[in-house]
Amino acid sequence: MTATIGETALEQTGTKVVRAACPQDCPDTCAMLVTVDGEGKATDVAGDPDHPYTNGGLCVKVNNYLDRVYDQTRVLFPMRRTGPKGSGRFERITWEDAVSEIAAKFKAIAAEHGPEAIMPVSYLGTQGILNGLNVGDPFFAKLGATVAERTYCDSGSCTAYAMTIGDTAGVDPESLVHSKFILVWACNIMSTNLHLWPYIAKARRNGAKVVVVDPIRSRTAAAADQHIALRPGTDGALALAMAHVIIAEGLTDQDYIDNYTVGFPEFAERVEQYTPEWAETETGVPAETIRTLAREYATAQPSVIRIGVAVERHAGGGQTVRALSCLPGLVGAWRKPGGGILQLPLWAFPVNWGAFMHPEMLTPGTRVVNQYLLGAALAGDLPEGPPLKALMVYNSNPVVTTPDQARLIEGLQREDLFTVVSEQFMTDTAEYADIVLPATTQLEQDDIMFSWGHLYVTYNHRSIDPIGEAVPNTELFRRLAAAMGWDDPVFQRSDAEMIAEAFDWSHPNMAGITVESLQEKGWQRLNVPAPDAYAPHAEGNFPTPSGKAEFVSAAAAGGNFVVPLFRQGSNDHQPGQPVDPLPHYIPPRESAAANPELAARYPLNLLTPKSHAFLNSSFGSHEFHRRVADEHSLIVHPDDAAARGIAQGDPVRVFNDRGEFTVVANLQDTVPVGVVVSPMGGWRKNSKAGATLAAVNPTVFGDLGNAPTFSDTLVEVEIA
């Protein structure tokens, strides 16, 4: 007999089932059940079958989570480097020695160079409210360290979306069963948002058409009714041409436009130039296909657009999301449940970000450095202020996730750089650390989770004792703060006290939800209307300055910005460049049209989507995941391969002016001629020639929110 219970029952004997939550940086935030035997060892991790959205399923990444928890290669004790940087040679030390050494170093560097010589490097290796995005922010704010800008995921998209319709949750993913037309845009749901698919499948059984816009025939595109394969980075042209057709053919919902939007006449004038014929030359999609798409999208109501993170990853990614965010207002899709746009339902959660970021602790004017520019920053290419002398890395593996890989590694090898890495595994980054600290997995820590893919709060009970001397990130920063001699209350908070501060519990969306109820039930739906009634913008009510959907954005007047959530709450040193308040087309930078000289030397578009079995670089050291992920491979169209004498399985060198990496060729016609695909996340130490795709990806940002432009990359490929 087993019983599903919370953490207190851990002290009883016998097998228990403990409610938990998947910690990975994924929209699905699955409710998990962890079985623990009488000896306190976890024996199973499974999905909670009672959870309406995740419905008992996990995924290929997390099904074998126990292989991760109990992996023999876990980092279990604090360690100090004994060999050259990157050699992987370490000796075990005590926690006390580790934190006092770190504190002494940080103090000395701050005294000699100023605290901005120290920088945190982190993101969402775990995304719990306690141990995730903001866990180190108060520590580094108090220290006065350089502010880390973390625009890994949807930052450009968020800026664009907020400029257009505000920070709205948008469509409830569970409402998609009511959609009549589902437009999946730059999102490989089968690999990155799996639990949404059954809702789409159900809508389809009810007669909905499912169309996928993606340059490549992803698993999701293969399962759809129609796949529209456009040239990489030209999504904005397609979206704007859709608006052109909808307006030109009178397919708009004029009543919705009149009452709940602003700037329609200007928008209509703007999109006059974006004809389907023009878009065909940009996107490669036939004009007639664009017309049909626009007509079907406009007339099959409610229609919904599901945008993936990838849509922002080119020069004009921001304005692309602006255009896409305008489309539902144009056709009145918001009127009914299942109509509108689905980006990040995260905004429905009244997370008490301030209690975790503590932006008021920042020293005004503190330098901000984007983590994508870490390689340059370590080389001394920095905004004003001291050179970087110390890094503290947690929840992150920048050697794999950050472009400019060769320069980053060169920087990490600097003898005058002090690097601390808190990790579960000896990652490519941890190998360059001076001090490595052991971090717990989700089973070994308490946390409470928002979701950016559904509307349920999820509680994660610690189900097993920490292994070795691993500690949660919360405890890591408590120990570091104590070693610094800081006694501010913010550094004294227990995990339980932090959980009590996680949300604005008085917010209407939290009615009926308490810490105690979550601990007992494991998860609860936000107090918002049921999926068959949830139509938050049926009558406008957008969280914009006008309260309407803004074709002409008022927020654009303030210039380009990164949502402060992605930069420790800081609003200083925002990018600030002027933003056209009307959506418009910005072509990709690396294309034959924009840069013929570059395209002549590097004729292939490289796309580096999320792999099927890694979560960014997480799971990159696990044998089965590596096999499923097809790591360090390059999908090449057979015609492109033939032109280069490349056969299936050949090692190939992928290169451009920025760098090169070597992978194995995989000939498939799932990619069009002219496009090659290498799934991201494989570790450098498992690569063929000491480099991964991060060596060739660009460091320049897209037009909004300092989004990366990884889908705006030209390369050439040859046999290695």
Partner 1 sequence: MAYVVTEACIDVQDRACMEECPVDCIYPGDRMMYIHPDECVDCGKCMPACPNDAIFWEYKTPPEQAPFIEANALFVRSHGLGGGGEDADPIDEDHPLVAQRRPR
| Binding positions for partner 1, rule: CB under 8 A | 46-47, 56-60, 63-64, 190-191, 194-195, 197-198, 201, 219, 223, 612-613, 624, 627-628
If the CB atoms of residues 64 and 289 are measured against partner 1, the closer one turns out to be: 64
| In the complex, least distance from residue 2 CB atom to partner 1, rounded to whole angstroms | 14
> Residue 626 is inside which H or E element, if any?
helix 623-629
If the CB atoms of residues 37 and 520 are measured against partner 1, the closer one turns out to be: 37
To the nearest 10 degrees (0 to 180), the angle between helices 235-248 and 276-283 is 170
Which of 665, 656, 641 minimizes the C-alpha distance to 694? 656
| In the complex, least distance from residue 574 CB atom to partner 1, rounded to whole angstroms | 40
| In the complex, least distance from residue 194 CB atom to partner 1, rounded to whole angstroms | 6
If the CB atoms of residues 398 and 609 are measured against partner 1, the closer one turns out to be: 609
Contact 702, 313 (CB under 8 A): yes
> Which residue pairs from 664-668 have beta carbons closer than 8 angstroms and sit at least 24 positions apart in sequence?
664/632, 664/633, 664/634, 664/688, 665/633, 665/634, 665/636, 665/641, 665/717, 666/630, 666/633, 666/634, 666/635, 666/636, 667/635, 667/636, 667/637, 667/638, 667/641, 668/635, 668/636, 668/637, 668/638
If the CB atoms of residues 34 and 549 are measured against partner 1, the closer one turns out to be: 34
If the CB atoms of residues 23 and 47 are measured against partner 1, the closer one turns out to be: 47
| In the complex, least distance from residue 629 CB atom to partner 1, rounded to whole angstroms | 9
If the CB atoms of residues 37 and 501 are measured against partner 1, the closer one turns out to be: 37
If the CB atoms of residues 192 and 617 are measured against partner 1, the closer one turns out to be: 192
323 three-class SS? helix
User: Which tokens hold the place of 461?
Assistant: 């009970």
Give all strands of the β-sheet with 303-307 in edge-to-edge order: 226-228, 209-213, 181-185, 303-307, 340-342
What is the identity of the amino acid at 194? L
| In the complex, least distance from residue 72 CB atom to partner 1, rounded to whole angstroms | 18
| In the complex, least distance from residue 622 CB atom to partner 1, rounded to whole angstroms | 11
CA distance to 362, 416, 611, per residue, from 367 (Å): 10, 21, 34
The β-bridge relationship of strands 456-460 and 226-228 is unpaired
Which of 62, 60, 58 minimizes the C-alpha distance to 48? 58
| In the complex, least distance from residue 662 CB atom to partner 1, rounded to whole angstroms | 23
Which of 71, 39, 180 minimizes the C-alpha distance to 441? 71
427 three-class SS? coil
Q: What angle do CA 438, 35, 470 make, to 5 degrees?
A: 10
User: In angstroms, rounded to a whole number, what is the distance separating the alpha carbons of residues 614 and 618?
Assistant: 6
Place of tokens 């990652």: 427
Residue 639 DSSP label: H
If the CB atoms of residues 76 and 190 are measured against partner 1, the closer one turns out to be: 190
If the CB atoms of residues 165 and 613 are measured against partner 1, the closer one turns out to be: 613
User: Which tokens hold the place of 371?
Assistant: 């983590």
User: In angstroms, rounded to a whole number, what is the distance separating the alpha carbons of residues 241 and 585?
Assistant: 10
| In the complex, least distance from residue 657 CB atom to partner 1, rounded to whole angstroms | 35
If the CB atoms of residues 67 and 572 are measured against partner 1, the closer one turns out to be: 67
Across 441-461, b (16+ Cβ under 10 Å) vs e yields bbbbbbbbbbbbbbbbbbbbb
Contact 81, 433 (CB under 8 A): yes
State phi, psi for 531 to the nearest 5 degrees: -55, -30
| In the complex, least distance from residue 200 CB atom to partner 1, rounded to whole angstroms | 10
Q: Beta strands of 579-719 (E only): which ranges?
A: 604-607, 633-636, 651-656, 659-667, 675-677, 714-719
Q: How far is CA 242 from the centre of its chain?
A: 27
Which of 540, 27, 582 minimizes the C-alpha distance to 318? 582
CA distance to 426, 465, 641, 667, per residue, from 649 (Å): 29, 44, 11, 8
| In the complex, least distance from residue 518 CB atom to partner 1, rounded to whole angstroms | 25
If the CB atoms of residues 429 and 618 are measured against partner 1, the closer one turns out to be: 618
| In the complex, least distance from residue 205 CB atom to partner 1, rounded to whole angstroms | 9
CA distance to 182, 336, 549, per residue, from 340 (Å): 10, 8, 11
| In the complex, least distance from residue 59 CB atom to partner 1, rounded to whole angstroms | 5
| In the complex, least distance from residue 624 CB atom to partner 1, rounded to whole angstroms | 5
If the CB atoms of residues 191 and 440 are measured against partner 1, the closer one turns out to be: 191
DSSP, residue by residue, 453-503: SSSEEEEE---SPPSTT-B-HHHHHHHHHHHHT---GGGT--HHHHHHTSB
If the CB atoms of residues 176 and 239 are measured against partner 1, the closer one turns out to be: 176
| In the complex, least distance from residue 57 CB atom to partner 1, rounded to whole angstroms | 4
| In the complex, least distance from residue 456 CB atom to partner 1, rounded to whole angstroms | 17
Place of tokens 């570091």: 480
If the CB atoms of residues 58 and 707 are measured against partner 1, the closer one turns out to be: 58
SS3 percent helix, strand, coil of the chain, rounded to 5, is 35, 20, 45
If the CB atoms of residues 478 and 622 are measured against partner 1, the closer one turns out to be: 622
| In the complex, least distance from residue 221 CB atom to partner 1, rounded to whole angstroms | 13
If the CB atoms of residues 122 and 616 are measured against partner 1, the closer one turns out to be: 616
| In the complex, least distance from residue 50 CB atom to partner 1, rounded to whole angstroms | 14
User: Which tokens hold the place of 624?
Assistant: 């089965």
DSSP, residue by residue, 438-452: EB--GGGS-EEE--S
If the CB atoms of residues 202 and 295 are measured against partner 1, the closer one turns out to be: 202
Task: Dihedral sign for Cα 250, 252, 258, 264, please.
Answer: negative
